[in-house]
A and B are shown apart, each in its own frame.
Chain A
């Protein structure tokens, strides 16, 4: 999924609830700057909110990186949520609706997957988790 990167990387540290709000607002602003319609910008902001909360909830701190993508005249945003936390033991289950180890709704990760055009997760127990998603303006 790395084929179409443009510069403009923004790295946002996530270590508090305030950072969740900050990250999703930055993502929305970026989407609007790129000419995404408001509805798509809201999808981007919502996905960032879920990913940032997962970082805080499971790893306590981590980072959200935002990239501008371009492919064939189309623009997109890539969001990479990374942490050095405990990792996810069962990724397949974490992507199932209703599954949560935190006692919440369990719709976070599967919800993000449905909001985005591309979704990739890699996680190693004891090493950390990285979720990479893309949303294109079409």
Chain B
């Protein structure tokens, strides 16, 4: 597994640490959808700070993760989209519609606390 997934209270935090292949992205998707159940998690944070590009495949897969996790009863928030990456996404016409985003990990945790009633009491 290329992307470590940490359990923090009611949430799962996946931190992407390098460029990922399409297969790595799919593996991350499936692992998160599975672990939402096995850990009974209420929320998922995917930190994409270190992701080099967000192309149509990466965007589509993250959208799939968010929708699948929601169908499993949890919320997803994507954090750490870099300014250059955001610029490229907007120019390509990729918008992550229907997926929550936050500036960074801290804001992502605050978002999940607000949206899941599973406040971690930080």
Contact = CB atoms under 8 A, between A and B. Distances in A.
Indicate, yes or no, whether A interacts with B.
Answer: yes
Interface of A: 17-18, 20-21, 24-25, 28, 38-39, 41-43, 45-46, 49-50, 53, 97, 104-105, 107-108, 110-112, 114-115
**Interface of chain A, main secondary structure:** helix
A104 B60 contact: yes
Nearest to B90: A114
Contacts, number: 73
B57 A28 contact: no
A48 to B, nearest CB: 9
A103 B82 CA distance: 28
Contacts of B92: 46, 107, 111-112, 114-115
A21 B18 CA distance: 10
18 contacts: A17-B23, A24-B53, A39-B87, A42-B84, A42-B88, A43-B91, A46-B53, A49-B55, A50-B55, A53-B55, A105-B56, A107-B56, A107-B93, A108-B55, A111-B91, A114-B91, A114-B93, A115-B91
Of B54, B91, B94, chain A has the most CB atoms within 10 Å of the CB of B91
Interface of B: 19-23, 52-57, 59-60, 83-85, 87-88, 91-94
A50 B54 CA distance: 10
Given A39-B84, A42-B87, A114-B91, A25 B55 contact: no
A111 B19 CA distance: 20
